[in-house]
A and B are shown apart, each in its own frame.
Chain A
Amino acid sequence: MPPIRRKKAPETDKNSGSDSGTRKGDDEEEKDKQKNNSKKKETTKAKKVKEKSKWSCVDSCCWLIGCICVTWWVLLFLYKAMPASFPQYVTEAITGPLPDSPGVKLRKEGLKVKHPVVFVPGIVTGGLELWEGRQCADGLFRKRLWGGTFGEVYKRPLCWVEHMSLDNESGLDPPGIRVRRVPGLVAADYFAPGYFVWAVLIANLACIGYEEKNMYMAAYDWRISFQNTEVRDQSLSEIKSKIELMVATSGGKKAVILPHSMGALYFLHFMKWVEAPAPMGGGGGPDWCSKHIKAVMNIAGPFLGVPKAVAGLFSAEAKDIAVARAIAPGFLDNDMFRLQTLQHVMKMTRTWDSTMSMIPKGGDTIWGDLDWSPEEGYVPSKRRQRNNDTELARQNATGSLGSQSKRIYYGRMISFGKDIAEAASSEIELLDFQDAIKGNTVANTTCRDVWTEYHDMGIEGIRAVAEHKVFSAGSVIDLLQFVAPKMMARGSAHFSYGIADNLDDPKYKHYKFWSNPLETRLPNAPDMEIFSLYGVGIPTERAYVYELSPSAECNIPFQISTSADGEDEDSCLKDGVYTVDGDETVPVLSAGFMCAKGWRGKTRFNPSGIRTYVREYDHSPPTNLLEGRGTQSGAHVDIMGNFALIEDVMRVVAGATGEDLGGNRVYSDIFKWSENIKLHL
């Protein structure tokens, strides 16, 4: 029988009734035929005839959707029915057996829960939830606005921006809006679903017996300035009482503090606050810290600030956004949706006081001036890796190569134009921009809805800023004061960026100095230990090449000049950003200097001689996609999943000291660079 016949015979049988007009004869034939068959068959036939007439486009759509649904459900069912360890099997089959997680490993070694642990999350990673809102935020009561799925950003972006912003004058809640931090471990275990922050560390600590009663997440509202968290939410008091309680209930064992990122500055503030007398401080008395704290293990703490913060405040962009603009220039700049995203973001972030805590501190002494910078001679890690030699040879290589390559003036934190960034300092003439008249507000009626302070500046001011050409860490603060006077007025009441000459000066009792390690003394707690744990081996933003943005007045007038690239592939200058070694956000200098030099031994910043340790974790990216974010990462947030770091942390909470861990562990040139810094100690 030919195949075509085989296909058709049954089909004709079935389809015969569909075209009732032309196919009538056939139909009757069919029916005659069917009379011979059973009655049941006949009824089914009749039903089918009816159905067939319904077959149309809509039906096919439905059919398609039905198929998809069924498949989806089946897959979902299979997925749910799958044993939980299945993905692990697959991973192990492909990459070989995974190493034990540090928790399991150390439990086998017999480590047990000992000291209570306090986590201090950093900026951005903590969740925020709504307690009171405007009309547009109906139904979001106690839902997360920040963290989680961020579903509301897409649904009602303007409402979201409105609720996330703070009051422009006071830096506190706008009237009628209360957004508060999410409390408890859930505040920052996962930032978004699947994107862990503290979760891995928590899970590993739980392996050796930690639980809710001896772990505490010191969640705070990271948008407002540190002292305001106490004024508004009494967060500092809460941390104090919680630490006291945990120390008391775990039999007098002192607490181990784990601050991450900005949390390091927050906790520095806390340590001063808690010992300060009552009206402004916590009234814990001068030995509170030595009685309650065993160790502070700062994870990627930006003690001296991060250059990223400057770019963020100056033009609401960092490397990531600048690159995005370079790739898709049409998208961010066009006003098709009248969204003016960047301006909105900028307006919102400028109301957040805490961002100002991360402005580089210590001025030219630390970050270098027009001619000099502590990282001079640094060669990007890519090149180092290429010289695939032993440690020693590598050191030599970097030295020699560094001297050969062109000098990079990292000290020039913002320069207008690439040529300026590379010119010798004598060639640059500095104009005083602060005297420039702030022109009348130009055409700001059109852009009123997206108000940023740039509109108050006028063309004159903008030009004056651009003509000044170069800003070092010290003058960047002047620049920001010029560009965003309101914000800086608020900020300078809460933060300070200088270096103290005389720490006994009574003015240093004010809380605005408490979070600057260069203007405070550490508490008198000789038994305490301070660790700096951070990742290295990732290019990190250090200085920027800017240009005036070409478009109309409504835009932010400055932008990173993404066309400014270095000559060769390995140059530190890429897309208008000079990079150095660090963990992608915090340069090594900021994370390591205080522990490597500023506090080492007995200095004036550390009068009681608290022991300090620097422990670096060299970044190695995950070998394949299955590993997720890697177990040896050194990136700013991913380092919280770094097995070596977790192991160090767990040993300390189980009772080990810094010496037991092996003291310092260094991959970068932090000690060399620290020596370059001429800071009176």
Chain B
Amino acid sequence: MGSILRFRKLWYLGPVRCSPLELQSFENREVDKEDEGVAPKVESVVVDKKREQKKRNKRQPKEWRCIDYCCWIIGYLCTTWWLLFFVYHCLPATLPGFQVPESPGTRLKSEGLSALHPVVLVPGIVTGGLELWEGRPCAEGLFRKRLWGGSFAEIFKRPFCWLEHLSLHNETGLDPPGIRVRAVPGLVAADYFAPGYFVWAVLIENLAKIGYEGKNLHMAAYDWRLSFQNTEIRDQALSRLKSKIEVMYVTNGYKKVVVVPHSMGVLYFLHFLKWVESPPPIGGGGGPGWCARHIQAVMNIGPAFLGVPKAVSNIFSAEGKDVAFIRYNVQGLREKFANCVLHTYFTVFLSRAMAPGVFDSEILGLRTLEHLLRVSRTWDSTVSLLPKGGETIWGNLDWSPEEGHGCDFTTKGEAHASGNSVNNVNQSRGLEVKDLVKYGRIISFGKAVSQLPSSQLPNIDPKQEFSCSSATNFSSLCGEVWTEYDEMSRERVQKIAKTNCYTAITLFDLLRCVAPKMMQRAEAHFSHGISENLDDPKYAHYRYWSNPLETKLPNAPDMEIYCLYGVGIPTERAYVYKSSPADKCKHIPFRIDSSADGDEGSCLNSGVYFVDGDESVPVISAGFMCAKGWRGGTRFNPSGMATYIREYKHKAPASLLEGRGTESGAHVDIMGNVALIEDVLRVAAGSTGKEIGGEK
């Protein structure tokens, strides 16, 4: 009773007197009040009230108070929610009137397609789940629970512990002592990334419709943080994949396997193709005919053959378009939050987007971005996604292959509706009206620099610049959140910013200077050049295996290679940077200059130049090898296996009900694209590239 009375007192806005005589004083005040106003009537009124009160007490035993009111609201909401929930569950799966379009699997089944070739799915970076096998005391109770993928609940519960367990060892690129985080095996590894967010699930379901099941469908899950060769050294992932393919080949009546890699899985599988035919100490010892014997087709989805520029900005400053954008729109953050989480979650480096709200605020002392930078720098695999082929592919200071690309994506939506002519107009307009966008300059400091003709650039030889003198290690202050930037002196940061422009080649010098340890580790595993002479014995080393420009495809003339990717979404291609203004140990010293905007409809937006692509991988990276590098019998493809390009025009989902759309071209959402699924199904059921229509 006492507590109720006290509560009521607050309600009456009475003066709070924190004395032991609280109740007493309250009563007194109450009586006083009555005495003041209507003194003569008080007695009778009180008696009356007593009588009334008795009656009312029967009807209304409880008082209507603030807390009741709250409870009432909550109860009301809960009930409504439950009711809706119940109704939702009771509804038949297909509402009358809401016509679910027939899935490609069902349609093709009625056409008579059935499972023929076994299918191997190779997931890309980030989408595969990781689970804990051994951890520090802080991770107690998480044994065999997912750290990556699933609900990500642990990030919020114990963020530091989570980061610690996901990092790899800084020197070896393998497990830190006492921690074992391993890939989740099986189809569950990457069917859904988070609850409700499909990756492979739609494809799997459609494959099942035409008769696929566990015995002829395999998910080659691997630990995507490691360099490719290390997955074999530590987990024997490549050996397991090899043995699995062999078993499936034999048990399914000697039918060759169709491989469907996605994103970075493409590079991983390229590595596998070379590995499996190499002799045993570093290779799989399958002999030179292994691929020809076991593999029917490789259907690369959203392939990042030549790398993605996004990887550069990620390694350089742990930010991409999404993060820069978030920072730029702090005020709109709340509204954007849901969107950002959904959209950025699944772009190639989504880790940044996990908790956008905490990025810049040091309120919690978290310094999220720095932590993320540190963690993701221990992941060797990110290096595999750096742009490959140098200036020959990605363009130099003055030239780039995409020159003349009109990036008026706002009008482009209509453009592909009204056909090619408009597109051409767009293109020509891009040529006439705008300055040439110099995509070749992947990183430039300042917007002006990014647009100057090369003759006006200050001519500094970056090579000399980066004879990086041993750094003066001055920031012991920042030891807690150690990133390699702390070892770099301020002067060097200045120097880097002065150099102004970096192309795909000088970029590596830059990264080597900025993140020496990581590059040193990773360059033992990856190479990003173009080979002059593929017969050079050095190319037998595994570091060249995942670079399509430095390996030959296996000798398998019957094999087919497909490049399936989405187009029609602006994709990051080059960045405008600035030195971040903050003091010496607080921040990563470079920032994307999010204030650098072009005109309306220009390719430059928030400091990022865009080209056509699927939101993560630019068209040139995804398509070049199939379009030219491997077409016919080139030196990269000596046996002349057939290559096919199939592009899927992005079309945003018409309504929210459609979810992520059945015609999407985005990097991950394309896995739900009906046309793509149909192509995959047809090939799995025995069609060749010609039969499904060749190029598209």
Contacts and interface: CB of A to CB of B under 8 A. Distances in A.
A570 interface: no
Interface string A155-176: 0000000000000000000000
A67 B75 contact: yes
A423 interface: no
B76 to A, nearest CB: 5
A9 B213 contact: no
Given A12-B49, A41-B13, A241-B243, A62 B76 contact: yes
Contact of A51 (B69, B70, B144, B240): B69
Contacts of A248: 239
Contacts of A667: none
B38 A55 contact: no
Given A237-B251, A238-B247, A18 B56 contact: yes
B183 A212 contact: yes
A138 B93 CA distance: 7
B2 to A, nearest CB: 11
Contacts of A203: 143-144
B53 A11 contact: yes
B75 A11 contact: no
A69 B547 CA distance: 57
Given A33-B37, A55-B64, A212-B185, A10 B76 contact: no
A40 B188 contact: no
Interface stretch (B133-141, B255-263, B358-366, B524-532): B133-141
**Which secondary structure dominates chain B's binding surface?**
helix
A331 interface: no
Interface in B364-380: none
A21 interface: no
B653 interface: no
Interface in A193-239: 202-203, 206-207, 209, 211-213, 233-234, 237-238
Interface string A1-29: 10011111111111100110001001001
Interface residues of B, number: 73
Interface in A62-97: 62-70, 80, 84-85
Interface stretch (A179-187, A334-342, A528-536, A623-631): A179-187
Contacts of B46: 5, 8-9, 12
Contacts of A64: 75
A245 B213 contact: no
Interface in B9-50: 11-13, 23, 27, 30-31, 33-34, 36-38, 41, 45-46, 48-50
B70 A66 contact: yes
A14 B8 CA distance: 10
Given A61-B75, A64-B75, A51 B188 contact: no
Contacts of A245: 236, 239-240, 243
A212 B182 contact: yes
Contact of A26 (B12, B45, B73): B45
B435 interface: no
A206 B139 CA distance: 15
A62 B208 contact: no
Nearest to B142: A84
Given A36-B37, A206-B143, A233-B215, A9 B68 contact: no
Given A6-B27, A63-B68, A65-B78, A131 B41 contact: no
A32 interface: yes
Contacts, number: 176
A63 B251 contact: no
A63 B71 contact: yes
Contact of A180 (B30, B141, B213): B213
A52 B213 contact: no
B468 to A, nearest CB: 40
B56 A59 contact: no
Contact of A184 (B50, B56, B60, B186): B186
Interface in B258-279: none
A405 B52 CA distance: 81
B495 to A, nearest CB: 46
B140 A63 contact: no
A264 B263 CA distance: 43
B75 A63 contact: yes
B562 to A, nearest CB: 26
Given A59-B72, A241-B243, A14 B63 contact: yes
A80 B251 CA distance: 47
Nearest to B94: A138
Nearest to B236: A249
Contacts of A438: none
B246 to A, nearest CB: 7
Contact of A29 (B45, B62, B141): B45
Contact of A213 (B12, B49, B235, B246): B235
Given A29-B45, A213-B236, A245-B243, A66 B27 contact: no
A141 interface: yes
B73 to A, nearest CB: 7
A183 B186 contact: yes
A69 B49 contact: no
Contacts of B188: 184, 186
A131 B115 CA distance: 13
B78 A66 contact: yes
Contacts of A69: 74-75, 78
B204 interface: yes
A360 to B, nearest CB: 33
Contacts of A237: 247, 250-251
A105 interface: no
Interface in A99-155: 131-132, 138-139, 141-142
Contacts of A131: 208, 213-214
Contacts of A55: 60, 64
Contacts of B70: 66
A463 interface: no
Contact of B41 (A8, A29, A44, A48): A29
Contacts of B243: 241-242, 244-245
Contacts of A23: 52
B147 to A, nearest CB: 14
B133 A206 contact: yes
Contacts of A38: 13
A237 B157 CA distance: 44
Nearest to B78: A69
A407 interface: no
A290 B208 CA distance: 39
Interface in B71-125: 71-76, 78-79, 93
Given A9-B27, A234-B215, A40 B13 contact: yes
Contact of A9 (B31, B60, B62): B31
Contact of B27 (A1, A15, A41, A142): A1
B214 A9 contact: no
B327 interface: no
22 contacts: A1-B31, A8-B50, A9-B46, A14-B64, A19-B56, A29-B38, A60-B62, A63-B75, A65-B74, A65-B79, A66-B70, A66-B73, A69-B78, A84-B140, A139-B93, A142-B187, A181-B214, A211-B180, A234-B247, A237-B250, A241-B247, A249-B236
Given A12-B53, A36-B36, A85-B141, 5 more contacts: A6-B27, A12-B46, A33-B33, A142-B205, A241-B243
Interface of B: 1, 5, 8, 11-13, 23, 27, 30-31, 33-34, 36-38, 41, 45-46, 48-50, 52-53, 56, 60, 62-64, 68-76, 78-79, 93, 133-134, 140-141, 143-144, 157, 180, 182-183, 185-188, 191, 204-205, 208-209, 211, 213-215, 235-236, 239-240, 243-244, 246-247, 250-251
Interface of A: 1, 4-15, 18-19, 23, 26, 29, 32-33, 36, 38, 40-41, 44, 48, 51-52, 55, 59-70, 80, 84-85, 131-132, 138-139, 141-142, 178, 180-181, 183-186, 189, 202-203, 206-207, 209, 211-213, 233-234, 237-238, 241-242, 244-245, 248-249
Query: What 9 A-B pairs come out closest when comparing CB atoms?
Result: A66-B75, A66-B71, A62-B75, A65-B75, A84-B141, A234-B251, A66-B74, A12-B49, A249-B236
